[in-house]
Amino acid sequence: MELSVRSCGRKDDEGRAAARSSHRSNGDSPARFAKETADCLRPTKATDVFWRGLFGAGYGGSSYVVEVDFFDFGEKVRLYRDGCLAEEQKSPARFVLDDGAVIEAAMALYGMKRAHLVASGRARALLPLPGTAEALRLAFDREHPVASRVIAAVSWAVLVVVLVTQIPNLLNSLAQGAAWLGLPLGFSVPTFALSEWLNTLLGALGIVAGLDRGLRMVHSPLLDD
């Protein structure tokens, strides 16, 4: 079943029209009408690719969409059913549907650790919706599978190198900070003799590699947290 914000919002558009008609006939205030329509899933914009995640699945005759804001420090996860907000939780979220099926969603540092629909003991991944960075990365994987696998391998290797070379620096920085607070830890970890520009480059490459893994929804606690 192919999903999009437009298809998921079809019933929502009908609901908006009905609400608008009711609003006019009943003389409700514009503020109340705005509050009612604020709970509808809005279509994607070009800028959403940088911060908004949308993952959907069809189940039981309804369209479900999980929405996240990757720059939301509160890590709120919203579940929409047929374009209307059904529930909101903090990540990691666990939404129980009417028949006992569960939609699980957990955010990572960037991207998602998990976005699955679990029904009858079987889990299937929710698919990224068009207009999101995850959907673009998935399309690239389908159209250029070899290049995608190379990028994935390079991303993993970069994160391993960053982990090995930068963790000693981080531990020493923590020790120095503790000493500055009057809590000397009394240890120093040997570090790699890397130039400042190389450390900076590794840090930047690590961010890019982490983004690629996040877009592919690949997560390892050691590498990605």
Q: Are residues 22 and 76 in the same domain?
A: yes
What does the block give as tokens for 188? 């120093």
What is residue 222's predicted lDDT score, i.e. its pLDDT? 58
What does the block give as tokens for 31? 């503020």
Which mean pLDDT values do the consecutive 10-residue runs of the chain (225 residues) have? 53 48 48 56 90 94 95 94 95 94 90 90 92 93 95 92 81 73 68 81 88 83 58
What is residue 109's predicted lDDT score, i.e. its pLDDT? 78
83 touches 63 (CB < 8 A): yes
Q: Are residues 64 and 30 in the same domain?
A: yes
Q: 199 in a domain, yes or no?
A: yes
Q: Are residues 44 and 19 in the same domain?
A: yes
Q: Which of 130, 153, 188 is the last residue of a domain?
A: 130
Q: What is the 3-state secondary structure (H, E, C) of 59-84?
A: ECCEEEEEEEECCCCCCEEEEEECCE
What is the rounded CA–CA span in Å between residue 135 and residue 40?
Answer: 21
Q: Are residues 91 and 174 in the same domain?
A: no
What is residue 32's predicted lDDT score, i.e. its pLDDT? 46
Amino acid at 43: P
What is the rounded CA–CA span in Å between residue 17 and residue 23?
Answer: 10
Domain of residue 60 covers 5-130
